[in-house]
Amino acid sequence: MASKRCAWAAGRASPPSSSARRKAGRINGVAHKCASAAHRTRGRRHRTAAGLNHGGDMRDPLDSLNLQLERLHAHPFYAGRLPRSVASAAEFAERVPLMSRAELVAEMGKSGYGAFAPPVPPVRVHLTPMGAALVPILHSAADLRAIETACGQHLDACGIGPGDVCMVTFGYHLFVAGLFYQSQMEARGVACIPHGPGETERAAQVARQCGVTVLAGNPTHALKLIEAGCPVPRVFFAGGEPFSGNEALYARVRAAMPGTLLIDSYSLSECLPVARTFPGGTGVHVFDELLHAEVIDPDTLAPLPDGERGELVLTHLKKELQPLVRYRTGDLTVLERTASVHGRTVSLPRVVFGRVDSMVKIKGVKVYPSEIKRVLLGVAGATGAYRLVVGAKAHGGDHLTLLVEGAPTDLDAIAERFKRQTLIHADAIEVVAKLEGAALVQDQRRETT
């Protein structure tokens, strides 16, 4: 009976047994016609999306920004803080104050959500941990439609549509990821299996049984699914852990899924979605019909030019409930403008690579200790623990030693990755069996002055 329940997928994937093949054969002709029609439809959508600017929205990005400023001018939280319009992105950054996560947490903790009290009833509420609080994230029906439209254009670009079968192995319950992927797939006519995490053997069996062609989940778990016999998907949506920035993990997934389109993504629960891999692009491209992205110096708070490392700041362009304006994400990234890639022109080529924390200036360069974690991702023998030891050279200048816990042997590779990530050279890399204490930086310059 189980095979019959999933017979609609028989034209999309190899069935698990000869008996299933005999059953599937009776409907293969119809399924093939449906799949061919779906493929032609997806091809038309793909070509259409690729020819548009700004995610299919022909409006100038500045117009979208000004429309949102006009809408929010009298908003209880933003009243008196926003101009009605700006003439440029530079003027926007100059005249509009930054917003912190602490402000959002404080406001949402008030009765009725304070100044973010919804003007229309929310139709979906997710919760996200922020410090010690679980903060409600509100979506109106219009908010969900905007998200599904933007994500639908991404699915078109990936050739995903009716006839595909997607298994979602992200978590559900209070948090956002599982339902987020399920709803966008279903809105585009994709059959979706809301499996959730864990139960690897059963998940692999269900994937075989139902002919899964698209998989969305944690990359490490996805590897276990493939080992357990899950069909190699045509498209894999990765999330929940660093992916394209973790060269070793990415290589393992690529080896396990040859020919699969691998999609990395970056999102925040309060800002969803932010960016994804688009075919033909570099890094992840921002959904710039939904968000205005900028990068600031987290120390001076001044805007930074494209290509410089800094903190990502986001502004909702269409959000109806809980709209965020110049919201500090706390994530470190680099932003670049590109030629249109399926309508998107803003890229985060290295996704995000650290958190804004106790910045230290070494050799004249701002270094954020948390970004070193990216350097050690996937390094054989390294536990992931590290410490920067900064001293003063006898004749002036800084001397930097990187301490790495564990037993890595390829220190040259670590040195190269360190320089590529931080833009400075480590004078020495030392391996230690165990690092004592939790400090990420030991600044001996202060101890000797």
pLDDT of 32 > 90? The answer is no
List Cβ neighbours of 316 (8 Å cut-off, separation of 6 or more). Answer: 68, 271, 290, 291, 323, 324, 325
Instruction: Report the pLDDT averaged over residues 361-373.
Output: 87
pLDDT of residue 432: 95
Q: What are the tokens at 441? A: 């930086």
Identify the H or E element spanning 445. Answer: helix 444-447
pLDDT of residue 289: 95
The residue among 302 and 52 whose pLDDT is bigger is 302
Cα(324)–Cα(78) distance, integer angstroms:
10
Instruction: Report the pLDDT averaged over residues 385-414.
Output: 92
Q: What are the tokens at 413? A: 């590779």
pLDDT tens-digit series, residues 324-334: 999 999 999 99
The residue among 221 and 20 whose pLDDT is bigger is 221
List Cβ neighbours of 347 (8 Å cut-off, separation of 6 or more). Answer: 275, 281, 282, 283, 284, 285, 286, 335, 336, 337, 338, 341
Percent residues over pLDDT 70 in the chain: 86
Q: Where in the chain is the domain with CATH 3.40.50.12780?
A: 2-56+140-354
pLDDT of residue 368: 85
Beta strands at 398-406 and 382-392: parallel, antiparallel or unpaired: antiparallel
Among the residue ranges 92-96, 182-186, 389-393, the one predicted with the least confidence is 389-393
pLDDT of 348 > 90? The answer is yes
pLDDT of residue 405: 95
Cα(345)–Cα(441) distance, integer angstroms:
37
pLDDT of 193 > 60? The answer is yes
Cα(120)–Cα(118) distance, integer angstroms:
5
Instruction: Report the pLDDT averaged over residues 286-305.
Output: 96
The residue among 368 and 54 whose pLDDT is bigger is 368
With H, G, I as helix, E, B as strand and everything else as coil, classify residue 59.
coil
**C-alpha closest to that of 12 among 227, 210, 237, 257:** 210
CA distances 348 to 99, 186, 263, 306, 338, Å, are 21, 28, 14, 10, 10
Q: Where in the chain is the domain with CATH 3.30.300.30?
A: 357-447
Among the residue ranges 76-80, 204-208, 226-230, 353-357, the one predicted with the least confidence is 353-357
Give the pLDDT band of residue 2 (cuts 50, 70, 90).
very low
Q: State which amino acid sits at residue 297.
A: D
| Alpha-helical runs (H) found in 175-294 | 177-187, 200-210, 219-227, 247-256
Instruction: Report the pLDDT averaged over residues 287-316.
Output: 96
Report whether 424 contacts 400 (CB < 8 A): yes
Give the pLDDT band of residue 57 (cuts 50, 70, 90).
low
Report whether 293 contacts 312 (CB < 8 A): yes
The residue among 354 and 358 whose pLDDT is bigger is 354
Tell me the DSSP string of 12-36: TS--SSHHHHHHHHHHHHHHHHHHH
pLDDT of residue 37: 38
The residue among 134 and 36 whose pLDDT is bigger is 134
Q: Where are the beta strands (DSSP E) in 264-335?
A: 265-268, 271-276, 284-286, 291-296, 310-316, 327-333
pLDDT of residue 27: 35
- Only one residue has tokens 């390829």, namely 410
pLDDT tens-digit series, residues 410-433: 999 999 999 998 989 999 999 999
Tell me the DSSP string of 327-363: EEEEEEE--EEEEEETTEEEEETT-EEEE--S-EEET
pLDDT of residue 61: 83
Instruction: Report the pLDDT averaged over residues 357-365.
Output: 84
Report whether 136 contacts 118 (CB < 8 A): no
User: To the nearest whole number, what is the mean pLDDT of the chain?
Assistant: 87
Give the pLDDT band of residue 17 (cuts 50, 70, 90).
very low
Whether the full predicted model's pTM is greater than 0.75, yes or no, is yes
SS (H, E, C) 152-180: HHHHHHCCCCCCCEEEECCCCCCCCHHHH
Percent residues over pLDDT 90 in the chain: 71
Among the residue ranges 46-60, 231-245, 266-280, 431-445, the one predicted with the least confidence is 46-60
If you ran DSSP here, which 8-state letter would residue 91 be given? H
pLDDT tens-digit series, residues 256-282: 999 999 999 999 999 999 999 999 999
With H, G, I as helix, E, B as strand and everything else as coil, classify residue 127.
strand
Cα(50)–Cα(327) distance, integer angstroms:
29
pLDDT of residue 36: 41
Report whether 101 contacts 330 (CB < 8 A): yes
pLDDT of residue 385: 94
The CATH number of the domain covering residues in 2-56+140-354: 3.40.50.12780
With H, G, I as helix, E, B as strand and everything else as coil, classify residue 305.
coil
Does the bond joining 305 to the residue before it have cis omega, within 30 degrees of 0? no
pLDDT of residue 58: 52
pLDDT of residue 4: 40
For the 357-447 domain, the top CATH level (class) is: alpha beta
Q: Give the Cα-Cα-Cα angle 167, 172, 175 (nearest 5 degrees).
A: 135
Report whether 31 contacts 11 (CB < 8 A): yes
